[in-house]
Chain A
Amino acid sequence: MNDNMYMLILLAMLGSALLVVSFIVLQIRNQNKVLLQKRRLQEAELFHQKALLEAMITSQEAERKRIGMDLHDEVGVVLAALRMNMEKASADSGASSFPLQSFKTAIDRVMENVRHIVHSLSPRISGSFGFYDALHELTDVVNRSGNIVVEVRFPEQQQPVFADGQHAMALYRVLAELISNTMKHASATLIKIDVTLADNRLEIEYSDNGKGMALDNRQTKGMGLHNIESRLTMIGASWQVSTVPDGGYSMHISTPLK
């Protein structure tokens, strides 16, 4: 009888211990499950946001392209026709009259401006190629302004082949935005852009010798910086900014090619 009681107590202790262990194991399992679901939900939200961003930027580019083409085809053609008519009128009158000459000059200026607008709205980046040429074209325009010098180190034999046209366009827009920011805010005299290919990634080092900014000020970033980050996120690029007041601004961008 005594030994039975002793055995019963031992069994009761063992049973309780097993119950508690099972309870704790179930608790751990349950909490891990909840955490996993939470993480999946966050990932899905992130994916959704990225898809939205991509759709927004793609439609923005499509709209820019359409406006650029319309300007080129409609306004450009009409202006060209107008200029030809004026030349004809000038030849028919037999002498170069002052008003006609000044009108032709004004039309030339408008046509040049339209060409610039068309180019900035829809740069000539076609398919997987064109980033090299577009970047040099952009920097040539900036260098021609005479206010700032842009040095580009981008070996011709290292031209990247992107998986899609979006990559090249996004990088072009990012660099254009960075140059625009430097020109507007940095009071810089020199911009350096180094582009290299390494391990199937494109590495871009952008730097200026301007007045830089405190990193905290990035909290109040405007649309420009916001657009840069959105475009880089869209193409899966990583980036790192380093800047200090009076120490210039630099940004390192690394993006996969495929």
Chain B
Amino acid sequence: MKYFFAGILVPASAVIPVCVALGRRQQLAARHWILFVYLIITLLGNILARYLAQHGIRNTPLFHLHTIVEMVLFSFFFRTLFRAQIIRTAIIGIAIVFSLYCVVNFIFLQSIYSFNSYTRSIEAIILILFCVMYWWKGATAAGDSPWVAIADNWAVSGILFYFSSALFLFIFSNYLLQHVSKQANVLVWNIHAAIVLLMYLLLTVTFLKSKR
């Protein structure tokens, strides 16, 4: 029961933005379908991880794989938010280099059966930078719409909030697993789940505000 919130409720809550996106599929902007795909993959990944855990199979390799998929999808999303070709190319370049680094990481640096704290932390830092770049662009080219009416603002806020809040958790995740009591770990990962839930809700608002 203590895993219910982080293990069942929050992963299942990805259904909320997915349903909203499907309900507004006629109005949804093309770039927001990338976020939809991310949510579907995350949902399926969580189901698979739970299935593996219930059958006594270690599911940490899924985290390594999920990190690559997540970074690639978010990079494609951020690519659509910038017009400058140099930034668009740089974002894809960063995504490719990061994916290669993830492979190097689980082969040579961190076991595929441990939490990928290096790659997850670097992913978080890169995505925080993308978010800051987005705000910088927004601040220099403010349009006529109020902040709350722009769907991308909600999506970027969700991504920024999740990755910056969870950054320290990613950095110290392996340390926590080894040195901190199980009870404390449960609490920390429940807090992480709450942050994930907030990101899903912000993505739901993104889909509600999305316009073609």
A32 touches B147 (CB 8 A): yes
A30 nearest in chain B by CB position:
B139
B161 touches A20 (CB 8 A): yes
Cα distance, A19 to B172, chains bound together (Å):
20
B191 touches A10 (CB 8 A): yes
Which listed residue, B147, B160, B169, B179, touches A5 by the CB 8 Å rule? B179
A21 interface contact, C-beta 8 A: yes
Interface range on chain B: under 10, 10 to 19, 20 to 34, or 35 or more? 20 to 34
A51 interface contact, C-beta 8 A: no
Which listed residue, A9, A12, A21, A27, touches B161 by the CB 8 Å rule? A21
Cα distance, A2 to B146, chains bound together (Å):
46
- 8 Å CB contacts to B: which residues of A1-30? 2-3, 5-6, 9-10, 12-13, 16-17, 19-21, 23-24, 27-28, 30
- On whether A38 and B144 interact (CB within 8 A), knowing A2-B181, A9-B188, A31-B138, the answer reads yes
A35 interface contact, C-beta 8 A: yes
Q: Which residues does chain A contribute within 8 Å of B147, judged by CB atoms?
A: 27-28, 31-32
Q: Which residues does chain A contribute within 8 Å of B195, judged by CB atoms?
A: 13, 17
- 8 Å CB contacts to A: which residues of B123-172? 135, 138-139, 142, 144, 146-148, 157, 160-161, 164-169, 172
Name the distance in Å between A200's Cβ and chain B's nearest Cβ.
35
Name the distance in Å between B132's Cβ and chain A's nearest Cβ.
9
Interface range on chain A: under 10, 10 to 19, 20 to 34, or 35 or more? 20 to 34
B180 interface contact, C-beta 8 A: yes
B9 interface contact, C-beta 8 A: no
Q: Which residues does chain B contribute within 8 Å of A5, judged by CB atoms?
A: 172, 175-176, 179-180
Which listed residue, A3, A19, A32, touches B184 by the CB 8 Å rule? A3
Cα distance, A172 to B195, chains bound together (Å):
67
A21 nearest in chain B by CB position:
B161
Q: Which residues does chain A contribute within 8 Å of B169, judged by CB atoms?
A: 9, 13
- On whether A13 and B166 interact (CB within 8 A), knowing A20-B160, A24-B160, the answer reads yes
Q: Which residues does chain A contribute within 8 Å of B166, judged by CB atoms?
A: 13
Binary A-proximity of B12-55 (CB < 8 A = 1, otherwise 0):
00000000000000000000000000000000000000000000
Cα distance, A30 to B140, chains bound together (Å):
11
- 8 Å CB contacts to A: which residues of B167-212? 167-169, 172, 175-176, 179-181, 184, 188, 191, 195
Which listed residue, B144, B165, B184, B191, touches A20 by the CB 8 Å rule? B165
Query: Which B residues are within 8 Å of any A CB, using their own CB?
Result: 135, 138-139, 142, 144, 146-148, 157, 160-161, 164-169, 172, 175-176, 179-181, 184, 188, 191, 195
9 closest A-B pairs (Cβ-Cβ)? Answer: A12-B168, A17-B165, A28-B147, A6-B184, A31-B147, A16-B164, A6-B180, A20-B164, A34-B142
* Given A20-B160, A27-B135, 15 extra CB contacts under 8 A: A2-B184, A5-B175, A9-B188, A13-B166, A13-B195, A16-B164, A16-B165, A17-B165, A21-B161, A23-B160, A24-B161, A28-B148, A30-B139, A31-B147, A35-B142
Query: Which A residues are within 8 Å of any B CB, using their own CB?
Result: 2-3, 5-6, 9-10, 12-13, 16-17, 19-21, 23-24, 27-28, 30-32, 34-35, 38
Q: List 21 A-B contacts (CB under 8 A).
A: A2-B179, A2-B184, A5-B172, A5-B175, A6-B176, A9-B169, A9-B188, A13-B165, A13-B191, A13-B195, A17-B165, A17-B195, A19-B164, A20-B160, A21-B161, A23-B160, A27-B135, A27-B139, A31-B142, A31-B147, A32-B147
